[in-house]
C-alpha cells in the first residue's frame, strides 16, 4: 500500500506536491500541539490527591439535617 501512495505522490504536479506538503506539515503541527496538551493534562492529573479526596468525601455527613437511610431498611 505504501508503494502505491508513493507512486501517486510522484505523479502529482509540483504545485500539488507543495499543497500536499503544506497540508501534511499543518497536520503534523496540530497533532503535536494536541499531543502536548494531552500530556500536560496527564501530568497535571497525576499530582491530584484522588484517594485522599475520596476518603474525605466518604467520611463527610450531610449538612441538611436529614438522617441517612440505611441499606435494607424500609420506609413506611
Per residue in 23-57, pLDDT (tens digit) is: 999 999 999 999 999 999 999 988 776 556 555 66
pLDDT reported for residue 23: 97
Note the pTM of the prediction, 2 decimals: 0.55
Quote the cell numbers at residue 11: 505523479
Closest CA to 58 of 66, 46, 50: 50
| Phi, psi (deg, nearest 5) at residue 15 | -65, -40
pLDDT reported for residue 29: 98
Give the C-alpha separation, 43 to 67, whole Å: 40
Give the C-alpha separation, 60 to 11, whole Å: 69
Amino acid at each position: 500500500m505504501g508503494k502505491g501512495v508513493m507512486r501517486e505522490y510522484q505523479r502529482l504536479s509540483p504545485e500539488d506536491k507543495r499543497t500536499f506538503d503544506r497540508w501534511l506539515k499543518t497536520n503534523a503541527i496540530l497533532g503535536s500541539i494536541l499531543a502536548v496538551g494531552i500530556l500536560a493534562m496527564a501530568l497535571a492529573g497525576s499530582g491530584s490527591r484522588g484517594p485522599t479526596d475520596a476518603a474525605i468525601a466518604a467520611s463527610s455527613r450531610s449538612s441538611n439535617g436529614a438522617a441517612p437511610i440505611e441499606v435494607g431498611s424500609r420506609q413506611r
